[in-house]
Structure 1
Amino acid sequence: MDRVFIKDFPLDALETWVQGIGERPFRARQIFRHLYNRLIRSWDECSDLSKAFRTQLEYGTRLDAVETAATEDATDGTRKFVFRLHDGKLIESVLIPDPPRLTACVSSQVGCALGCRFCLTGTMGLQRNLSTAEIVDQLVHMQQAVGAERRITNIVFMGMGEPLANEEALLRALRILLDPTGFGFSHRRITVSTVGLVPQMVRLGRESPVNLAVSLHAADDETRNRLMPINRKYPLATLMDACRAYPMPSRKRITFEYILLKDVNDRPEDARRLVRLLSSVRSKVNLIPFNPHPDLPFERPSEERVLAFQDILHQAHLTATIRQSRGADIRAACGQLAARMVSS
């Protein structure tokens, strides 16, 4: 039979596959526990499976969808992983320690087609979508790297690519991550970020209870059009209608990410526009001072400018936090992921 990537399957699909090769459905739950609780590296570790079944799995499946090509450690403890895919393409993911949390920033595509002007990944263009197995396996390999004494506590889909442009693979991955038989993450611990693909937002809200983060970065269409070409297709009025209609329990809010760019979107009038824009949405704002890079035509605003922007939001009773830059010395900070290592 053709070898399949075993981590492509949510539990119900894995049960179907297992039955298709002549095994009973409960074997799928055993496999799930081995893959995502025990984080096995070889089928030989699965002593509760018969030798014949292990041999069948060895020759019929691919256990790993990614391999670690390189890692880099920042002075603040952030670790960047470069993963090589089966076709030789490369992606980057980041592990961010912030005790007691340990957050994994996961990629969903090789490159990105959306061309946000402040993001290095966008300069790569889109090479392809990741499969479900390639998304999930980033978590497996990062958890294996830190060992059993520390557990990844949070997952953010804020790595390379636009997650909702790869919605089928993303939704299957979320089912695996949330499944108590698998990783067993709480929906409160997973956040999917999007530039604002409105139809896909509607589907995500309908099919998965995870947190939503919207990459906003401007509160007027003229500025957002310049920064984010997607705004021409889904302008702010359309995006905000979708946000107001987004299904959330009463205790949840949508996070709006706002990269502060010197003299572009960081003025007091920009802050006041943002207040008006979010006035009817259950929201919180994550302010992100720009992480400079020589390939990008923007500068970081001063600390005083950042704090003044935040103060205007606070005065309007908006929750607004400032994200501290992590991993900038290894190009692992927000907007800096772009896998350019030569693939051997």
Structure 2
Amino acid sequence: MKDLMQEKWTKRPLIISGPCSAETEEQVLETATRLVNTGKVDILRAGIWKPRTKPGMFEGIGMKGLPWMAQAKKITGLPITVEVATAKHVEDALHFDVDMLWIGARTTVNPFSVQEVCDALRGVDVPVLIKNPINPDLELWCGGIERLQKVGVKQVGMIHRGFSNYGNTEFRNAPMWHLPIEMKRRFPEMLLICDPSHICGNRTMLQSVAQKSIDLDFNGLMIESHIDPDNAWSDAKQQITPERLSEMLGELIWRSENTDEKEFLTALATLREQINHIDDELLTLIGQRMKIADKIGKYKKDNNITILQTNRWNDILAKAFKKGDKLGLSKEFITKYFDAVHLESINHQNKVMND
């Protein structure tokens, strides 16, 4: 099984699926059987211990679900993976020959918990995936990876499951795609898979989010599946049947990062060079804008005027939204861009006024 796990680890795309929670032995075995029959799933997952937001919610079946997973592996030949959050979880999972472990978002956010799991893994040759922390803090995510590497875990991978954010959103957890992209830049050779189930929190958006992750060169997917999703004991709205999973995987367009096609490479190089020139011009213009901001800061200082002029800022945004709409730029982008420029301008003026 170790050789098979090594083969699965390097497979692209890597597909992990199974129920959010192991509920009964029959449910686990039927799910596993139906998943292996699709011929598209590489690793079977199931939640054994479930960290929940409030007491009284279903917190997983516990250790008695591990023999069910072991039996599912025996019947189907699929490697198995479970989430661990404590040293005892690691010990129990390894006792039942779990082939791969993952650290959940609620654990990644706590360095003490991550270190406890890492200490239990010291000297153990088992692959470990680590989900992004609940909050959008890349240093915590990087810290978890480094802790695993320091105790000798050789095969470490990342799971992007989205980030919690305050307020209404179309996603259960906002994807904030720029964050996993940055992690891919920092760890270019490391396995990165997407968990659309926890990003979406519903079935209707699963395919579009999965496709976007593929288009961003993610290495695989972790998608929750259940034999009776509507009656699942946890996260019912985001789970799909094994058969629907198979259909969805068949409809996705899998892309490659590179090609040897000369015409494509030539065209791409030309367009990228154009972008490089435009980026240089943009930076030069922003630099000139900040020099003007410095002058404004001096005038404000000499006349004892506050840095922030709310009416002026509202006028800038209103004009930018109108102009951006005509240029095909989203209001969200315009807001983020001008917020960043405005903050830099404020910093420049603040330095001038308090020098």
TM-score by length of 1: 0.43
TM-score by length of 2: 0.42
Find the structure with the greater CA-based Rg. 2
Name the one with the larger strand percent.
1
